[in-house]
Amino acid sequence: MAKKFPLHPKHPERICWGCDKYCPVDDLGCGNGSGRTQHPIELLGDDWYEWGDWGLVPAAESSPEKNKEEEKSST
């Protein structure tokens, strides 16, 4: 299962965002060897998730009632 992707991490520059490992910058574990993958907030700004089709739903927009309705419709 994939880890939950943070919308506003405190220090995105300290982590590689290229896979679900979220490795520290000085100890990359995925073996790409070139460097870390930046978080979208570093490239696009604080409202990065509002543009494009990221497939993410911010927690503020998600409600328990809406989630229950989605679960019922998917079964």
pLDDT digits (tens, 9 = 90+) for 48-60: 888 777 777 766 5
pLDDT of residue 21 exceeding 80 = yes
Map residue 24 onto helix, strand or coil. Answer: strand
Domain-located, residue 71: yes
12 Cβ contact list (under 8 Å, min separation 6): 38, 39, 41, 42
Domain-located, residue 3: no
Q: Domain residues for 62?
A: 11-75
Domain-located, residue 41: yes
Least confident of 22-26, 30-34, 44-48, 68-72: 68-72
**What pLDDT does 63 receive?**
44
Number of domains observed in the structure of the chain:
1
Domain-located, residue 16: yes
**What pLDDT does 32 receive?**
58
pLDDT of residue 6 exceeding 70 = yes
Domain-located, residue 22: yes
The two structure tokens encoding residue 1: 């299962």
Domain-located, residue 6: no
Domain-located, residue 62: yes
Domain-located, residue 20: yes
